[in-house]
Structure 1
């Protein structure tokens, strides 16, 4: 019985990672990455943030034997919709503003890689502007987005856990394997997402930007759909 529940949790986590709003969020973040390794890291960090939130919420809900009110749950899902609109809109704005093109880029230590480079605000091309840091801002954003998704999706997960597990430790174990499944699922999915992006980047700048624009538009569309649906449930529309 215990093994069956944990296997179910793992498979549910893998499936959970492929939900449309999750894919849209990670695809939007991945479109701003500079390498396939960074895309994988973004997907894994989304899963980690998602799991951390589930653990915290799940622990308190199950130990207090409480349930998340429907109105509060709808409000969190509404917030996810707003977040997706902001992510997709940000991607579209960056696409227009940054004027991305691609070239082989070298660092002082001799490292060379295929690089996406912005010429925002430039009137003439300056080679010196190719020098740049490789920061971790996207990684932090991906972690936060995963945490927000975990908070919004926690109600349904807790309901399942409370109905199928005999104890709080078993419930937390269920959430744990669910989280591992979602981390692995999103890691694999983000890698798959990066393949056409990387292939397009190596072909034509306009094709890469076209894919980015489509991802941004799709992310906004999914976000608006969630806002309308959850807003109706909240009586806002």
Structure 2
């Protein structure tokens, strides 16, 4: 039977996972992907794919660390942090290019898979912070892995909620006129490029 203490830890992990989904780099990357003219209404799908990638890499890292006592190399999260900056710049630049061209082709297979891979990069970059908050002293290895599963589910729920909200906002704005949509997308592109540049400097 699950103890009340462990249940409390899992509830806290779920809440922290939901909040973690709204980290600025996560939100900005997903906004850039969902704001493309050829991605209308796709943010929820991208959010789900991103969440699976993010959670999958954390669970693998948790199994390696807690069960097999093989911690992730310290250089890996730091390198992933730099890649996050590059991804933000690329996503913002790609969005700006799509707006400049004004075309709406069908999303390519590469870009359809991109959210999953980006989620893995974000999960790797944030793994050090996530495991630093893991109450290892209170949990067995299996409980620790279960905690990461619940945390990752919280991240998925939070990002799905953001994806749904972002799609709704775009729909509401488009109903008021296409003149409002382009500035919104342009603003997202500029913010993504700016944040990515700042991320690279601070990485």
TM-score range normalised by the length of the shorter chain: 0.7 to 0.9
3-state SS, counterpart of residue 122 of structure 2: helix
How far apart are residue 167 of structure 1 and its match? 1.3
C-alpha contact (below 8 Å) 2:66/2:142 kept by paired residues = no
How far apart are residue 69 of structure 1 and its match? 5.2
* Deviation per residue, 1:166-222 (Å, 9 max, x gap): 211111101100011011100011111122211222333332111111111111111
Q: Aligned-residue CA RMSD in angstroms?
A: 2.0
Distance change in 2, residues 1:92/1:134 (3 Å): closer
Distance change in 2, residues 1:84/1:134 (3 Å): closer
The gaps in structure 1 that reach 5 residues or longer are 101-117, 119-131, 231-237
C-alpha contact (below 8 Å) 2:10/2:147 kept by paired residues = yes
Which residue of 43, 51, 54 corresponds with 1:47?
Answer: 51
- What TM-score, normalized to structure 2? 0.88
How far apart are residue 137 of structure 1 and its match? 4.9
Distance change in 2, residues 1:137/1:78 (3 Å): closer
User: Which protein is richer in helix relative to its size?
Assistant: 2
2:161 is equivalent to residue 188 of structure 1: yes
Aligned match of 1:177:
150
3-state SS, counterpart of residue 60 of structure 1: helix
Distance across 1 between alignment mates of 2:181 and 2:200? 29
Distance across 2 between alignment mates of 1:39 and 1:139? 11
2:145 is equivalent to residue 155 of structure 1: no
- What TM-score, normalized to structure 1? 0.76
Distance change in 2, residues 1:137/1:66 (3 Å): closer
Distance change in 2, residues 1:133/1:85 (3 Å): closer
Aligned match of 1:200:
173
The gaps in structure 2 that reach 5 residues or longer are none
User: Which protein is richer in strand relative to its size?
Assistant: 1
How far apart are residue 159 of structure 1 and its match? 2.3
